[in-house]
Homo-oligomer: A and B are copies of this chain.
Amino acid sequence: MKIAIYGYGNLGRGVEAAVRQNPDTELIGVFTRRDPASVHTVTGVPVYAAESVLDYTAEIDVIIICGGSASDLPVMTPMLAKHFNVVDSFDTHAKVPEHFANVDQAAMTTAHTALISAGWDPGLFSLARLYMNSVLPEGRDYTFWGRGVSQGHSDAIRRIAGVKDARQYTVPVPQALEMVRNGENPDLSTRQKHTRECYVVAEEGADKALIEKQIKEMPNYFADYDTTVTFITAEEMKKNHGELPHGGLVLRSGATGEGGKHRHMMEFSLKLDSNPEFTASVLVACARATARMNGRGIFGCKTLFDVAPADLSMLTPEEMRKKLL
């Protein structure tokens, strides 16, 4: 299976690493909007200009699009789905219907297959919610994120005047998680579910009290949370906060039997040292499924909900039943 990467940031480098763990995949190249001569891949695979991608339709089975959900993917995925099978990790929840429709039209008219919103949330967490809801129709879902770095929240802090660098960790509130695991089915406010820990490197002479106030009062991002702000040095940032860990939990508490007398708790959790590398690993498995579905004449826009799990695996159906069933 011949894979290309479109966009070469943290996620793109993660895909490059993941391809090496999947012997049935081969990376034919990286496409970038930057000057290709300025981009050096970790494994030495060739770098091409993004605008030349249509010259490579014969060489590529699936493109993994590693762009941002805000402005890149809404343009890139429909554009590329006209010419290639594609996978993306679109995660702007409210805009999924629009993105789905655009990508579906592009892929369907040209007999391509496009798998959107792959990764872990949306992605594996979505699958956990779907399986859990399907087998326990009467119940309640909870999703917690973290402990992990939120890049969006880190960026929001970096935009404040006087901030040189920032890292924001989203942290589930242990008491809330405990209540859910106990089957108490609590109503939890935003504040009760997660706290936000901010580590900030301030510019020389910046007003730290003002920065802290601006962070804590920032609407949507921080105002609804218990937020802590810790000022650190650039050295501390580099030493202690250089990685991008993340994770989280999906839980469903449900009931069966007469009067719902039997309670059941289902839980799926991830603890990830590297969010981009793990997400990339999911995208590569999804590329495999996308190529296979296309080969069977399944065209248009899909999500992981539409993918038979066997299509994600390197194993044959017989091996899978023997080793994993």
Also in contact, A305 and B277, with CB within 8 A (given A124-B135, A130-B312, A137-B314): no
Whole-angstrom CA separation of A128 from B280 in the bound complex? 19
| Contact B310 A305, beta carbon cutoff 8 Å | yes
| Contact A100 B324, beta carbon cutoff 8 Å | no
| Contact B258 A17, beta carbon cutoff 8 Å | yes
Number of interface residues of A (CB under 8 A): 69
Chain B residue with minimal CB distance to A268? B268
Chain B residues with CB under 8 A of A29: none
A14: interface (CB < 8 Å)? yes
| Contact B305 A14, beta carbon cutoff 8 Å | no
Chain B residues with CB under 8 A of A278: 135-136, 256, 262, 264
Among A57-65, A153-161, A315-323, the stretch in contact with B: A315-323
A306: interface (CB < 8 Å)? yes
Chain B residues with CB under 8 A of A122: 325
| Contact A93 B325, beta carbon cutoff 8 Å | yes
Chain B residues with CB under 8 A of A309: 127, 130-131, 134, 304-307, 309
| Contact A305 B281, beta carbon cutoff 8 Å | no
Chain B residue with minimal CB distance to A43? B258
A151: interface (CB < 8 Å)? no
A44: interface (CB < 8 Å)? no
- Contact flags A92-120 to B (C-beta < 8 A → 1, else 0): 01001100100000000000000001000
- Contact flags A211-223 to B (C-beta < 8 A → 1, else 0): 0000000000000
**30 A-B residue pairings within 8 Å (CB atoms):** A17-B258, A21-B138, A42-B258, A93-B325, A122-B325, A128-B268, A130-B309, A130-B312, A130-B320, A131-B312, A134-B285, A134-B288, A134-B309, A135-B285, A256-B274, A256-B280, A262-B273, A262-B277, A265-B270, A266-B269, A267-B269, A267-B270, A268-B268, A303-B321, A303-B325, A305-B317, A305-B320, A306-B309, A306-B317, A307-B309
Cβ-closest 5 pairs across A and B: A262-B273, A262-B274, A134-B312, A256-B277, A305-B310
